[in-house]
Amino acid sequence: MQSVAASAKAGAGVTRVMPQAIDLCRQIESEARWDLYTEYDWRQDAQHCRNWLAELLLDDAPGSAITGFWFGIFNPMRQGRPRSDFYVTGSAHYPSVDWVFSQDWQPSGRYAHSPGQAALYRLAESEGPNIVAIVDYVLTFAHAAATVNDLIVEIDSSRLLDGAERRGIAVGHDSGDALFLGELNSGGFDRSVSDWI
């Protein structure tokens, strides 16, 4: 998992991180049908997520007081089935140590409804609970972190900042691993800022 997190921390996007994460899953459990995951069109999901965040920032802008974005991975029940998805909230307390727990900006459209995250769970269900656990730990994290990296590159930084001097950006499971990706400021996205984790 460290290699996947390192790639995400370095800024790798979905098309690079997902094959790496799937290979890691194959090493953990070689009997599963991991090829199903490599065949998924991750770029289509990236387009969906880009549209979601761009529209959200336009419709319900966080304002300059928000200094950090948390992209949290969680497991909603949708149509009676457990799924995976991620959301965004904002904190006015970055860079304090516990800033990700302060949800000062909670837009109504904060849930990505990511087709890719949902597909991860759907594909894993047919393989049994052991594969669901691996997918939920490795692939949902890899996908969310890499997708956020793509969003940082593809969405105009002035929209991401919305008047704030800086914004820390982190991603992770609500009840598990998290990764600080870096800090966005007027000069660009700085990945050298020290981790708070």
pLDDT tens digit sequence for 164-188: 999 999 999 987 789 999 999 988 8
197 domain-assigned: no
Query: What domain range includes position 87?
Result: 2-190
115 domain-assigned: yes
Residues 55-99 pLDDT 10s: 999 999 999 999 999 999 999 988 888 889 999 999 999 988 889
The number of domains in the chain is: 1
| Three-state SS letters, the chain | CHHHHHHHHCCCCHHHHHHHHHHHHHHHCCCCCCHHHHCCCHHHHHHHHHHHHHHHHHHCCCCCCCCEEEEEEECCEECCEECCEEEEEEECCCCCCCHHHCCCECCCCCECCCHHHHHHHHHHHCCCHHHHHHHHHHHHHHHHHHHHHHHHHHCCHHHHHCCCCEEEEEEEECCCCEEEEEEEECCEEECCCCCCC
195 domain-assigned: no
Predicted TM-score of the model (pTM): 0.93
196 domain-assigned: no
154 domain-assigned: yes
34 domain-assigned: yes
141 domain-assigned: yes
65 domain-assigned: yes
